[in-house]
Amino acid sequence: MSNINRKFFFDTVRLNLFDGFLRKSQVEGLTTLLDYWERNYADKDDRWLAYVLGTAHLEVDRKMQPIKEYGSDSYFFKMYDVEGDRPKVAKQLGNFGKGDGVRFHGRGFVQITGRYNYANWGNRLNTDLTSSRAKADKVLNLARATEIIFEGMISGTFTGKKLSDYFLNVRQDWEGARKIVNGSNKKALIATYAKNYYAAISYTIA
């Protein structure tokens, strides 16, 4: 089986996506994502990998490490709490108690948000993500965040849409694929990132 040519990959993304410089933490994050793909999905469509990388690139602001959503506790309360400014949104996210908006703000490579998503991924990962804020912070673990972004986008757990809906055989919809995670938000920008990652994927003989 062929492996991704890591030197070509990093040389290409460094130039085209990171302004010529990659920090150690960015290399670590990208390496973890590539390792997970090669370990679990090496025989699948490379466009899936490219779109996952493009999504992460935007969602974590090029850090290529899982992060917390930008904002203060008061912002999270307003946005996601049942007693905040958007109680209907809070309920859609599965938040039902005061403080849930703060506890279950966005985290990870795809910024999973809301008690429902944390409970769902806690079940999938067989770990407690809901009983405290510290438990929810486990989503920031690099290995866990990597598993969540790949499995969620491949299986369609975030919105019901999955990678194979947009990339299969000759079908490819780089902008429409944003619906896998977040409607049409910044779909053109992510499409550009993903295509640049796709151009960086080449192979060398193992």
CATH match for 68-140 among 3.30.20, 3.30.420, 3.40.50, 1.10.3470? 3.30.20
Tokens read off for 60: 């974590």
- Phi and psi at 10, nearest 5°, equal -70, -35
Strand, coil or helix: what is 66? coil
Quick one: what percent of the chain has pLDDT higher than 90? 97
Instruction: Sketch the domain layout of the chain as residue ranges.
Output: 3-66+142-204, 68-140
> For residues 11-26, b (16+ Cβ closer than 10 Å) or e, as one string?
ebbbebbbeeebeeeb
Rounded Cα–Cα distance for residues 198 and 80 (Å) = 35
Residue 1 has pLDDT above 80, yes or no: no
Rounded Cα–Cα distance for residues 120 and 155 (Å) = 13
In eight-state DSSP terms, residue 69 is P
Amino acid at 104: F
Residue 59 has pLDDT above 70, yes or no: yes
pLDDT digits (tens, 9 = 90+) for 71-121: 999 999 999 999 999 999 999 999 999 999 999 999 999 999 999 999 999
Residue 157 has pLDDT above 80, yes or no: yes
pTM higher than the cut 0.75: yes
- What number of CA atoms fall less than 13 Å from residue 160's CA on the CB side? 1
